[in-house]
A and B are shown apart, each in its own frame.
Chain A
Amino acid sequence: MANSNQNNSRVPFGWVVAFAALSVCAALFFLLSVWKDYDREWRGYQRTFREMLVERAGTEEERKAALASGDQFEQIIVAGGERVDRCVMCHRGVEHPAFKDADQPFARHPTIPPHPFEQFGCTVCHQGQGRATSVQDAHGEVAFWEEPLLRGGFIQASCGPCHAGALKDAPLIQKGKLLYLMNGCLACHKIRGAGGVVGPDLTFAGERKKDPKWHIEHFKFPQKVSPGSAMPAYGHLKPEDLEALTVYMLSLRRAPSALALAAPRPAAGKK
């Protein structure tokens, strides 16, 4: 070979520096991403729960088992995957007798006998985002999720679709129904074929708008959330009445398929 110029065989120093700097930068963000992926919110709750388990352990064996348990991935698969509820990743005490008085998210669930969790999951009654594993996302209180967690009395709305008749544990639905008839809503709205046609058919109103806050706001100032609306305002009703009306509106939806599959099935898919 004619020219074996050695000076010419070196890469300019600037490029070597650039290579070093960019490599360090890439490695840094690689490590940061690995950490971000590991450091998920639910791990913290599981750690606290383990500590509480150890405290509340009755026997030495229970204590040992609690100490030995690690972070667990857990989900309830409802209706063959139509719903996947991961609430139990944080709400770990829902079925644990020793957690009756514990703080959220670890408290034992108030008993509602015939609804085994491994068949029903959680979101069928509570709404929220079952697949999510961070608090705000799971509770559906984020942008782009239409079903926020139902808090307080609003949770009664979800009993409606499965329990068509009156239910003593969900009195607000009945109260709302009554208010609906008393306040002349029927003049403008149809439910299952009966009523007026000025406003939209409300037979499945709860499937379109699933946020209680929206309904309360809509009753108080219809034009604010629905510009140009012909619906009169109902701000003069008592707050409890608006809540009951909202519960009734939210309960107007088709029964979730979980009911159809109420027969015992090997649920509680654990990974």
Chain B
Amino acid sequence: MVTESPQKPGRGKAVSWLRDNRVVRSIFRRGYPDNDLDRAAVMFSNFFLHVLPARTHVHSLKPTYTWGLGIISLFLFVVLLGTGSLLMFFYVPSTGRAYSDMKDLQFVVSYGVVLRNLHRWAAHAMVAVVFLHMCRVFYTASYKAPREFNWVIGVLLWGATLMMSFTGYLLPWDQLAYWAITVGSSIASYPPLVGEYIRTLMLGGDTVGQNALIRFYVMHVIVLPGVMMILMGVHFWRIRKDGGLSRPPAPPSDAAQGEAAAFSPHKTYMLVELAEGKTPMVDTQAPEEEVMSWPHTVFRMLVVFVGVVAVLSAVAYFFDAPLEDLANPDHPPNPAKAPWYFLGLQEIVSYSALAGGVIVPAAAIIGLMTIPYVDRDPEGQGTWFTSGQGRRITLWSIVAVIPVVLVLTWLNEHYAVRILVPGASQIWVDLLNPGTILIVLFAAGSLYIWRRTGSSRMGALALYSYFLTSYLIYTLIGLYFRGANWAWIWPWQATGLH
């Protein structure tokens, strides 16, 4: 029962009636939790809260540790589900209607513009935030045992997020959508042997048309959200089972040593506690290191949610989602650009289709998936960049990559294989282009650092930073420095043809 708080009689009565009437009690069985017992109980008995532990380690609540990026990703996803469901009431995935439906959203549907803006900007934000979340998990070495598999789930979530954004891109059926998807799907067709099948499977034909639209739509509104919800469920479950968020190992103390620490006379044990896996409180040394999740974790999450909504609604108020001309298969814009997160790949495709369409994406996926299984020693978990040495290696890796990428890009503009030897065979182009060369350099550089420092973690830090920086540069080049026929232009120049 809730303890009666000392209040003025009149107000107290009204408040306690509001709190304690039968209907409210049937929903919130224990009333407002104002003592630790109820605070723990509310975390168990509330469906939405039970995914959180009853107590949270203070390290996990440090804003500068997670930057809230995972939870922001989740809230963006929630906003996207909400606005997306509403948009579905006004959208028919038919090439004859899709574009008009966009126009109707803009001009006559109540709150149509706001809905579209929120959905569009939240989608872009989610791609960026999920990526940043991945970087935070990487740089805090949180992928290490026992969290290896959750990292793999995360990589799948990253892929699903990209696919969500990519499939949604087509739906407005304007020139931007049509040509971005045409370019994007042609990148998918480069792998030898299977490439054409992938594209045909994706588009339901060899060009973007009605079949592609309905496929993208079903993927966008049913299949991928479903997959993501399941993956997120697993992701969160694993966080609990892996002992909460990663944190630096606690200094050994007398109180907690080996087996003895696992069983404490101050606790009653239930079956779940004896099952495999850790609970978030394992390894906790002292009561000062933990706080009740209600209100500490719950309230912070609420603040982050309101923050996400506030920022999104401000952006949606000031900036309208783009809508260009109706899709016209006879009028390719020059240049036709993929969605921004694939522009780095498109840039590398412009050097060599094999490099950009196969080698680089494959290296990235394989590299990401296997990192936790290659870099195994538990060093530096829960600390940004692991150590002072890690910090320096990360910084210098980023600094060193910039000139290398720029020089290779310049060399490729002026002394590419086909410029030196016009009739050179495709094999030489695929072997000697910035994409392939960089991969070799990156592998060599990170292996060198691994050997030099004797730490796989240092090698991994270097490798990740190389990839991150070079992809960022290529994205910027694709975004601002490529004009008609993918020729180099400066951002202040007109795009030439159009």
**Which residues of chain A have a CB within 8 Å of any CB of chain B?**
1-5, 8-9, 11, 15, 18-19, 22-23, 25-26, 29-30, 32-34, 36-37, 73, 84, 86, 129, 131-134, 137, 144-146, 227
Contact = CB atoms under 8 A, between A and B. Distances in A.
B107 A8 contact: no
Contacts of A4: 35-36
Interface in B34-70: 34-37, 39-40
A146 B175 CA distance: 12
Nearest to B117: A33
Contacts of B40: 1
Interface residues of B, number: 40
Contact of A30 (B100, B292, B313): B313
Interface string B388-432: 000000000000000000000000000000000000000000000
B451 interface: no
B39 A132 contact: no
A78 B103 CA distance: 17
17 contacts: A1-B37, A3-B36, A4-B35, A4-B36, A15-B299, A19-B299, A22-B310, A23-B310, A25-B310, A26-B306, A29-B316, A32-B317, A86-B108, A129-B103, A131-B100, A133-B108, A144-B174
B325 A146 contact: yes
Given A3-B287, A84-B100, A9 B292 contact: yes
Given A22-B310, A26-B313, A33-B313, A73 B37 contact: no
B212 interface: no
Contact of B316 (A33, A137, A144): A33
B314 interface: yes
Nearest to B297: A11
A15 B302 CA distance: 10
A33 B111 contact: yes
B286 to A, nearest CB: 11
Contact of A132 (B107, B175, B291, B310): B107
Given A4-B35, A32-B317, A86-B107, A19 B291 contact: no
B36 A25 contact: no
B306 A23 contact: yes
Contacts of A18: 303, 307
B233 interface: no
Nearest to B100: A131
Contacts of A144: 174-175, 323-325
Given A11-B296, A144-B323, A73 B108 contact: yes
Contact of B303 (A15, A32, A86, A131): A15
A132 B103 contact: yes
* Top 6 A-B residue pairs of the complex, sorted by shortest distance between their CB atoms: A29-B313, A26-B310, A25-B310, A22-B306, A131-B103, A133-B107
Interface string B94-105: 000000100110
A15 B61 CA distance: 12
A29 B319 CA distance: 13
A33 B306 CA distance: 17
Contacts of A23: 306, 310
B114 A33 contact: yes
B302 A145 contact: no
B245 to A, nearest CB: 18
B45 to A, nearest CB: 16
Contacts of B296: 11
A29 B310 CA distance: 7
Given A30-B313, A132-B103, A134-B107, A19 B292 contact: no
A72 to B, nearest CB: 13
A83 to B, nearest CB: 10
B272 interface: no
Interface in B289-343: 291-292, 295-296, 299-300, 302-303, 306-307, 309-310, 313-314, 316-317, 323-325
Contacts of B100: 84, 131
Interface string B76-112: 0000000000000000000000001001101110110
Nearest to A23: B306
Contacts of A146: 325
Nearest to B496: A227
A11 B111 CA distance: 36
Given A11-B296, A29-B313, A144-B325, 15 more contacts: A1-B35, A2-B266, A3-B36, A3-B287, A4-B35, A5-B287, A9-B292, A18-B307, A26-B313, A32-B317, A33-B316, A73-B108, A131-B100, A137-B107, A144-B174
